[in-house]
């Protein structure tokens, strides 16, 4: 945590800016060798660490929106880490400007960098009273112009299937194959509510791991929905699947453990909607078209909002997060830094 004292006499609320320093575990973030493509011309960008691999506008048409800009990519062997090192860089760039331009007027500023956001524990030990901000913003979104103040309600579901292994030669009427029972469990959930078939405000059941043998199997889902009512129904539906399996194959065959992870921050931010309007104006004043949209994921701001620190999310500029095709335009990062300054100026008026 860090802080910059106010340089105005007016009573201005303390505003925080937060980013996370960890990167996604989906691909290696070690020994990152970024590529810097100046004055991007709209062609394919070879990722030189892996022969034949390239960022192609035919696959990622949003590249064409950034012709003429400086594009930073991976070399194809690791993550870039823009999620969320871009947010860290943008905040520190704004801090550097503030510290070298004493004529820039602002109220109290709070800065926080957190670990473990990517595993959902980013603010478990975050000391909100010590941070001492009235409102905050996470710099952790995607394309330039994005502004988000609502996210999924989220839960995890872990299922253990206890089967019964018998020699296949004498298995009739005796064997209960835990792998097949686990597959049957999955088939009871609606296919159309898988992530690959959903968008916008639509929720999903997402199978994230499956490991097992004939004797026993373990698998895990994440459950997501923007609607609290539909979220609760999804958890009930998951329990009904476990109950069905136990009724069919015997008590104790399926053991389900459900755990809530975070909730939609909209209900905590909306009573303070002026902080969204200020961010919207700050984005517009930076020369961008504000795009207010729901987060199809989680954010540290959700847990912070429920702990008394209303905390919308602002773009960091990166695209294709969590994979080796990750990239970020330098100009989008510069715009994000300008948005931070614009927000502080608005609060100081």
Residues known to be catalytic:
22, 117
CA-CA-CA-CA torsion sign (62, 205, 85, 263): positive
Query: What count of other Cβ atoms lies within 10 Å of the Cβ of residue 43?
Result: 13
Q: Nearest to residue 262, comparing CAs of 287, 236, 226?
A: 226
* Pairwise CA distance, residues 239 & 257, whole Å: 9
* Pairwise CA distance, residues 28 & 88, whole Å: 19
**Per DSSP, which regions of the chain are E strands?**
2-4, 15-20, 35-37, 45-46, 54-55, 71-73, 109-114, 135-141, 146-148, 153-162, 204-212, 216-225, 254-262, 291-292, 313-315, 327-329
Tell me how many degrees the CA angle 157-163-165 measures, rounded to the nearest 5: 150
- Cis peptide bond upstream of 317, omega within 30: no
The position carrying tokens 């405000």 is 201
């Amino acid at each position: 945590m860090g802080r910059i004292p106010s340089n105005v006499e007016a009573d201005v609320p303390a505003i925080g800016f937060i980013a996370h320093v960890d990167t996604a575990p989906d691909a290696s973030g070690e020994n990152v060798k970024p590529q810097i493509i100046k004055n991007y011309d709209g062609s394919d960008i070879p990722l030189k660490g892996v022969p034949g691999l390239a960022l192609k506008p035919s696959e990622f048409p949003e590249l064409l929106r950034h012709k003429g800009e400086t594009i930073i990519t991976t070399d194809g062997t690791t993550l870039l880490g823009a999620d969320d090192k871009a947010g860290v860089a943008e905040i520190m760039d704004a801090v550097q400007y503030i510290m070298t331009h004493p004529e820039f007027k602002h109220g109290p500023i709070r800065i926080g960098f957190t670990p473990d956001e990517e595993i959902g524990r980013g603010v478990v030990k975050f000391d909100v009273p010590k941070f001492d901000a009235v409102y905050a913003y996470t710099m952790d979104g995607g394309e330039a112009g994005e502004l988000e103040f609502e996210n999924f309600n989220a839960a995890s579901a872990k299922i253990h299937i206890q089967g019964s292994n018998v020699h296949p030669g004498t298995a009739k009427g005796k064997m209960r194959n835990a792998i097949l029972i686990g597959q049957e469990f999955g088939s009871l959930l609606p296919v159309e509510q898988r992530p690959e078939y959903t968008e916008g405000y639509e929720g999903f059941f997402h199978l994230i791991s499956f490991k097992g043998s004939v004797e026993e199997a373990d698998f895990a889902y994440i459950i997501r929905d923007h609607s609290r009512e539909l979220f609760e129904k999804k958890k009930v539906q998951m329990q009904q699947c476990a109950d069905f399996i136990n009724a069919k194959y015997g008590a104790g065959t399926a053991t389900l453990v459900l755990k809530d992870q975070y909730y939609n921050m909209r209900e905590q931010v909306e009573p303070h909607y002026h902080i969204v309007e200020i961010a919207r104006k700050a984005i517009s004043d930076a020369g961008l078209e504000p795009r207010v949209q729901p987060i199809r994921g989680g954010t540290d701001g959700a847990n912070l909002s429920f702990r008394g620190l209303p905390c919308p999310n602002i773009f960091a500029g990166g695209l294709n997060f969590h994979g080796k095709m990750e990239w970020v335009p330098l100009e989008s990062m510069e715009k994000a830094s300008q948005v931070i300054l614009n927000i502080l100026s608005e609060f100081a008026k």
